[in-house]
Amino acid sequence: MPSKEIFGISQITSLRSPLWRQLIAEFFGVLFIVFIGCGSALDGWNANDKAIDEPLDVSTVVRIALAFGLTVAAVVELTGHVSGGHVNPAVTIGLLSVGRIAILPAIFYILAQLLGGLTGAALLKALSPDEINQSLGANKVQKLLNGAQGFGVEFIITALLIFTVFAVTDKRRASEGRGSASLAIGIAVTVGHLLAIKFTGCGMNPARVFGPAVMTGNWDHHWAYWFGECGGAVFAALFYVAVFAAEEPLLARFCGSRSGSMNNGGKVENIPVSAVTESFHHSSMRLKSAKALGVTEVIADPLKIARALVAEYVATTLLLTVGIASGLPDKSGFEPNVFQSSIGGGLAIISAIQMSINVSGAHLNPAITVPLFVVGRIKFIKTVLYIIVQCIAGITAVMLLKTFLPEELTVDNLFVKPGDGLENYQIFGIEFIATMTLVLAGCTLADNKIAPVRGVECLLMGFVVISLQLFALKFSGCGLNPARILGPAILKPADTNWQHIWIYCVAEISGGITAAVFYFLVLHDHHTITRVLPRPRMQSILDELKIISRARNTVSVVSHQ
C-alpha cells in the first residue's frame, strides 16, 4: 500500500477533503457526551468519597448509565453519516489498528475528541452550581481496587463496546439487516456503565476521562484508563477482524487453501458401476451416521467450526462477566440489587448476540443448544463442542471477576442462590418456566414470518431476559443458563450446594427442550422458509436424508443402464 494511503496525506492536503467537517462532528459529539453524561452525575455523588459501609444508590447508577448510553446513541446517529460516529479515541485507535482509518486522520480525530471532552467539562463547570460541580464526574478507581484491577475493568468493558461497534457495522450482515447501529452501541455503553460505575466510574472513552481530569486536576490512576481502554479496543478490533469477520481467517494462511481438495486435481477416474452399487449400501449408511452426528460438517470446513466455537466462547465469556458483575454490590456485606442485575443482564445479552450471531448463531447457553439439537437444528458433535466452550466460558468469566474485583465483593455473590423458604420443586418449576419462556421467545422472534424486520431479535431477547430476571431473581436466583450455574460451582466445589446445581441444570435444559419441541411442532409454519436465530446456514437431518435418497436413486438408474 502506498505510504500516502497509509498516512492519509491526501486527506489532509486536499482542498476538497471532508476532514474538517468530520473533525467538527467529532468535536461536538464528544462535547455533548461529556456535558450531558458527566452532568447526570452532578448531585453531590462521588463513588470514591462515600463511606466504606454505605452502598451506592442504585437509582443513581442506572440514571448515569442511561444518560451516557442514550446520549452516545443519539450522538452516533447524528455524526455517523459525517465522521463515522467515532466520538471516542478508543474507537478510532481500534479502527486504526485494522487499517480502517489512516494514521494522520486518526491523529486529528483523537485531537478533536480530546478537545471536545475538555470543552464539555469546562462548559459543565461553568454552567453548574459550585456546590455540586467539584468532581465534574471525573473517573476514580474505587478504594477497594488497585490500578491493575481498574485497568482490567476498563479493558473488558471497552472490548465489549468495540466488539459491538464492529459487529453492527459489518458489511457482510447488511443483507440480513443489522437493526439500529447507534442504538446497539448506546446499549453497549449503558451495559459498561452498569458494570463499572461502582468500580472505576466507567471511563470507556479516553476523551470522557481526559476532560474532567484536566478541569479537576485529578490524575490518579489515569494511566489505567488510557491503557485499559486503548488496549481493549485494539484487542477487540484485531480479534473481530481475524476471527469473526475475515473472509479468510488467519488460521487458513497456515493450513493452506482447501479449494480443489475434493476433486482429485481435476482428473476423472473410470469406476465400474458394479463397484459403486456394491459399496453404496455400506457407504450410504456411513454417510447417514456421519451426517447425523455432524462429522461431515466438521471435516468439510474445520475452520468455520473453529471460528464458531471461538465466537461462542468470547461472547459467552463477556455476557457472563458483564451480566454477573453488573449486579454485584460495591460494598461488602450487601446483596446484589435485583433491578440493576436485571437491566445489566438483559442489555449484556443484546451486545453478546450482536457480536456472535453472524458466526456461531449466538447460542451462548447450553439450555438453547441442547433443545436445538433435539429438534434437529444442530448436529451432535457441534452440540457437544458448543456446550464445552460455553461451560469453559462460564469458568473464565468467574476467574476474570475474581481477578479484577476485590475478593470481599465476589466471595459470596457469584453463585445463583434461591430465595429463603423455597422448596426444591419450587426452584425447579420457576427455572423450568423461565427457561421455557426464554427459548420459546427466541424461536418466535427469529421466525421470518413473525419478525420480518431483521436486526430486532437481539433487542427483544434482551427485554425478555430483563423481564424474567425482574420476576425470578428474588425467588430462584434466575439462572437461565447452566454455564452461568456451573462456572462458580466448578471453581469452588467445596462451597457448592450440588443438589441445587443439578436442579437448576435439569430444570433449564428440560424447559428449553419443551419450548423448542412445542414451537416446532405447534407454532412453526412448516410451509414458510424461516431463519432460526441459533441455526446459521445448517440443513436439517430430513433435508440430508432426502439428498441421500436422491443419490441412491441416481446410482440405481446408472446400474440398470
pLDDT per residue, tens digit, the chain (561 aa), is: 555 566 666 666 665 678 889 999 999 999 999 999 999 988 744 544 443 345 567 778 889 999 999 999 999 999 999 999 999 999 999 999 999 999 999 999 999 999 999 999 999 999 988 877 778 889 999 888 899 999 999 999 999 999 999 988 887 765 555 568 899 999 999 999 998 998 999 999 999 999 999 999 989 899 999 999 999 999 999 999 988 875 544 434 333 333 333 333 334 344 444 443 444 445 455 555 656 676 777 777 888 899 999 999 999 999 999 988 887 876 655 566 788 889 999 999 999 998 888 888 889 999 999 999 998 888 899 999 999 999 999 999 999 998 988 877 776 778 888 877 888 899 999 999 999 999 988 887 666 555 444 556 788 889 999 999 999 888 888 889 999 999 888 887 766 667 788 899 999 999 999 999 998 888 776 654 334 444 433 344 455 545 555 655 554 544 454
Q: Taking Cα atoms as reference points, which of 339, 78, 342 lies closest to residue 186?
A: 78
| The C-alpha cell that represents 530 in the structure block | 424461516
Q: Which amino acid is at 525?
A: D
Q: Taking Cα atoms as reference points, which of 196, 484, 468 lies closest to residue 328?
A: 196
* pLDDT per position as a tens digit, 258-282: 333 333 333 434 444 444 344 444 5
**381 and 451 housed in the same domain:** yes
Does 4 fall in a domain?
no
Does 258 fall in a domain?
no
Does 216 fall in a domain?
yes
Output the pLDDT for position 279: 47
**322 and 213 housed in the same domain:** no
- Of the residues 202, 217, 246, the one at which a domain ends: 246
**404 and 487 housed in the same domain:** yes
Output the pLDDT for position 422: 84
Does 449 fall in a domain?
yes
- Of the residues 207, 226, 246, the one at which a domain ends: 246
- For 528-544, the DSSP string reads S----TT-TT---HHHH
**355 and 475 housed in the same domain:** yes
Output the pLDDT for position 129: 86
Number of domains in the chain: 2
**73 and 198 housed in the same domain:** yes
Could you list the residue range(s) of the whole structural domain that residue 356 is in?
Answer: 303-329+336-529
Does 296 fall in a domain?
no
Output the pLDDT for position 523: 78
**419 and 504 housed in the same domain:** yes
- CATH number of the domain to which 66 belongs: 1.20.1080.10
Does 425 fall in a domain?
yes
**179 and 309 housed in the same domain:** no
Instruction: Round to whole Å and give the CA distance between 468 and 462.
Output: 10
Q: Are 100 and 162 in contact (CB under 8 A)?
A: no
Does 166 fall in a domain?
yes
3-state secondary structure of 372: helix
**231 and 310 housed in the same domain:** no
CA distances from 49 to 37, 134, 135, 144, 278 (A): 20, 12, 10, 12, 82
Backbone angles phi, psi at 121, to 5 degrees: -65, -40
Instruction: Round to whole Å and give the CA distance between 496 and 416.
Output: 10
**242 and 307 housed in the same domain:** no
Compute how many other C-beta atoms are within 10 angstroms of the C-beta atom of residue 370: 22
403-409: Cβ within 8 A, 24+ apart: 403/149, 403/152, 404/149, 404/152, 404/153, 404/156, 405/145, 405/149, 405/153, 405/199, 405/325, 405/328, 406/144, 406/145, 406/149, 406/332, 408/144, 408/332, 409/144, 409/328, 409/329, 409/330, 409/331, 409/332
The three-point CA angle 413-416-420 to 5° equals 95
pTM to 2 decimals? 0.80
**312 and 433 housed in the same domain:** yes
**28 and 157 housed in the same domain:** yes
* pLDDT per position as a tens digit, 354-402: 888 888 888 999 999 999 999 888 889 999 999 999 999 999 999 999 8
Output the pLDDT for position 248: 45
- Of the residues 230, 246, 262, the one at which a domain ends: 246
**510 and 378 housed in the same domain:** yes
Does 298 fall in a domain?
no
